[in-house]
Structures are given as structure tokens and as C-alpha cells.
């Protein structure tokens, strides 16, 4: 892959989705603000972009509970070198339609697009050094759940949105990470879809716009990412929490709680009250949460939740929720409970 140099660029992060598969957690906050290993999943992504120092502007496409996204961002990132811009998507008409809302914010320049409900491990410098536009991918077994890339001689020839079994032999799933060399060309392709009402699965798909660019002569290359964590379902949310805790666990962490056992890796937020309980392994107890007389393992306990006389295993508990009893493989929030 030939290299070029991109000094500073903009990033578009669509965060307008409802997060149906994470309900009832997302009855309270949009899915990108659900806590994973001590902070909202969106913050893991933003922190990596800020740390890299290649992004000067982050454009967030907001929708469902968008005011919460603005509130959380403005509170967390008061002092940083990155500018945040917010654009509202009022109708959910597909990912391509969402990205098009950033058209007035991006000129004829390279742009990075990253889905906000996904956590990645990848080399951003390598990605944006590509001579051509590049699409992040990771091989998967179940290709029916993802957009799939087909390529020949190192260049993308076809992108298929959630193909039926047998439609393609490729295992290369689009991972929600896109480096586009010419932002205005992408918006022109999306506009073509909307002007001609070209939809796939009744939505204006980003993959269709990218294929329009390829058919018009744009060269795109696949870019394999190291790790890709889709946080859009309860089981993948819990698995991602487990992975990040193991990766980032602080060996010097202090647990100033008497009568408790902590089995690392765990994350304990600020202002927590924990007594007569066993926490871990693979457990997050977020800021201001309370755990009494309980066992919490392989679980996510959100901010200000209260866990009393309970055993949680594979459980995600929403903000401010009060929980007692035995719970396995459940999402509990907004007074509701869903088994997965």
C-alpha cells in the first residue's frame, strides 16, 4: 500500500441510532453512552483520536437522545485540542443518509468516518497514509450480519450489505471504519442515491455510495484492523467490557472497602460504596454505584445503580437502577429486564 501524508483531518462519527438491541439500557441514554470498562463506549473512541493528534475536528451526527450526547461531550471534553460539531439527523434513513448531514462541514479534503458504537484497535497513522481511500475490515464467520468486501489485486471491487448465505465467498466484514480521500466526492455519491431514491433494505446505505464512487473510477483498498469490538448487543457489550478491563487494568489499583473481595480485572469508579461483597472478575462498577452483600462478576454496573443482596453474572445494569436477587445473562434498566 503506497503511502502519502495527511497532517490534520476531520472525523465523522454517526451516533444517532436508537440502540434497539441494547434496550432497556438505551431507554435512558443512547447506546454510545453506555458504560464500558469505566467510561461511555464513545469516549474510548474519542480518546484514541485525541491521543493520536491527527484529528482537529470531530463531527457527531446526533439523533435519538442527542441532547444527552452533547451534555456528556461538553462535560468531559471542556479542555482539549479538538473541536466538536453536532449535526442532527431527524429521520433515520440509513448510514449514508446520516453521513450526508456532515456535507456542509467537510470540503474537498480527506475525512475519517468511524461508527460510534464500536471500539477498535488499529494503526490510524497507517490507515490515513494510504494512497487511496481505505475501508477497514475484519474476517468473520457469519457474513450475513455485516457489509462484506470483495477485492481483486488489492483493490475493492464489490461491497455487499448483509448478503444472504452463498452470495459471496468473502469473509471480509466492513468494520465501521472508513478513510475517504475526497470527502466531497463521497457526498456527491450519497446525493446521487437520494436524488434517485436508490435504497438497499429500504435505507440509503453508505456501502452503495462507496460502490458508486468505485464505479466512477475511485480506487479503494481494504485495510485489515487489529481488533474490532461491536458493542451493539448485550453479549458483545459484556465481552468488550471483559477485554478492555484485561487490557487496561491498573495493577496498582487500590480498593478502600472493608469486608470485600476483589478478583481482578475490575474497574471501580469514583464515589462508589461497596460493602460485604465480591467484585470480579471482569466487572465494572461505575461512578457513584452502590454494591451491598452481593457478588458481581462478568458484569457492568452503571452509574448510581444500587445492587443489594444480589448475584450478577453476565449482567448489564442501567443508570440508577435498583437490583436484588440472582441475575444471569440479563439487561436490567428503566424498571425492565431482558434476558439474552
Q: What is the pLDDT of residue 6?
A: 62
Per-residue pLDDT of the chain (340 residues; tens, 9 = 90+): 555 556 689 999 999 999 999 999 999 999 999 999 999 999 999 999 999 889 999 999 999 999 999 999 999 999 888 999 999 999 999 999 999 999 999 999 999 999 999 898 888 889 988 999 999 999 999 999 889 999 999 999 999 988 999 999 999 999 999 999 999 999 999 999 999 999 998 999 999 999 999 999 999 999 999 999 888 899 999 999 999 999 988 766 778 898 999 999 999 999 999 999 999 999 999 999 999 999 999 999 999 999 999 999 999 999 999 999 999 999 999 999 989 8
Task: Answer whether 9-230 and 238-339 agree in fold.
Answer: no
Q: What is the pLDDT of residue 96?
A: 98
pLDDT at 2: 52
Contact 275, 268 (CB under 8 A): no
| pLDDT given for residue 16 in this prediction | 96
| Domain residue spans of the chain | 9-230, 238-339
Distance between CA 19 and CA 232 in Å, rounded? 7
Distance CA(218)–CA(159), nearest Å, equals 14
Buried b (16+ CB within 10 A) or exposed e, 110-148: bbbbbbbbbbbebebeebbbbebbbbbbbebeebeebbb
Which fold would CATH assign to domain 238-339?
UDP N-Acetylglucosamine Acyltransferase; domain 1 (2.160.10)
Q: Position of cell 490507515?
A: 127
Nearest CA to 211 out of 147, 121, 163 is that of 147
> pTM of whole model > 0.85?
yes
State the architecture of 9-230 in CATH terms.
Alpha-Beta Complex (3.90)
Amino acid at each position: 500500500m503506497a503511502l502519502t501524508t495527511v497532517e490534520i483531518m476531520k472525523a465523522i462519527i454517526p451516533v444517532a441510532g436508537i440502540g434497539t438491541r441494547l434496550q432497556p439500557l438505551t431507554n435512558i441514554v443512547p447506546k454510545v453512552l453506555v458504560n464500558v470498562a469505566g467510561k461511555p463506549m464513545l469516549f474510548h473512541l474519542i480518546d484514541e483520536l485525541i491521543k493520536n493528534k491527527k484529528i482537529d475536528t470531530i463531527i457527531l451526527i446526533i439523533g435519538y437522545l442527542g441532547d444527552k450526547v452533547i451534555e456528556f461531550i461538553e462535560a468531559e471534553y471542556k479542555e482539549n485540542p479538538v473541536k466538536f460539531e453536532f449535526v442532527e439527523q431527524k429521520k433515520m434513513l440509513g448510514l449514508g443518509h446520516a453521513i450526508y448531514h456532515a456535507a456542509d462541514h467537510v470540503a474537498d479534503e480527506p475525512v475519517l468516518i468511524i461508527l460510534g458504537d464500536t471500539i477498535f484497535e488499529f494503526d490510524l497513522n497507517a490507515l490515513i497514509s494510504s494512497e487511496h481511500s481505505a475501508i477497514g475490515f475484519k474476517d468473520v464467520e457469519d457474513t450475513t450480519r455485516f457489509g462484506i468486501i470483495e477485492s481483486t489485486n488489492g483493490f475493492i471491487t464489490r461491497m455487499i450489505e448483509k448478503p444472504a448465505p452463498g452470495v459471496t465467498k468473502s469473509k471480509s466484514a466492513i468494520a465501521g471504519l472508513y478513510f475517504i480521500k475526497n470527502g466531497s466526492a463521497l457526498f456527491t455519491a450519497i446525493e446521487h442515491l437520494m436524488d434517485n431514491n436508490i435504497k438497499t433494505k429500504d435505507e440509503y446505505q453508505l456501502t452503495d455510495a462507496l460502490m458508486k464512487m468505485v464505479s466512477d473510477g475511485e480506487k479503494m483498498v481494504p485495510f485489515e484492523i487489529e481488533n474490532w469490538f461491536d458493542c451493539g448487543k448485550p453479549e458483545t457489550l459484556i465481552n468488550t467490557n471483559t477485554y478492555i478491563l484485561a487490557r487496561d487494568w491498573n495493577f496498582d489499583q487500590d480498593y478502600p472497602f472493608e469486608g470485600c473481595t476483589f478478583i481482578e480485572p475490575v474497574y471501580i469508579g469514583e464515589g462508589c460504596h461497596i460493602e460485604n461483597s465480591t467484585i470480579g472478575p471482569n466487572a465494572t462498577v461505575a461512578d457513584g454505584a452502590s454494591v451491598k452483600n452481593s457478588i458481581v462478576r462478568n458484569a457492568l454496573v452503571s452509574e448510581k445503580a444500587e445492587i443489594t443482596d444480589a448475584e450478577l453474572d453476565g449482567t448489564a445494569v442501567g443508570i440508577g437502577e435498583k437490583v436484588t436477587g440472582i441475575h444471569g445473562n440479563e439487561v436490567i434498566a428503566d424498571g425492565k429486564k431482558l434476558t439474552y
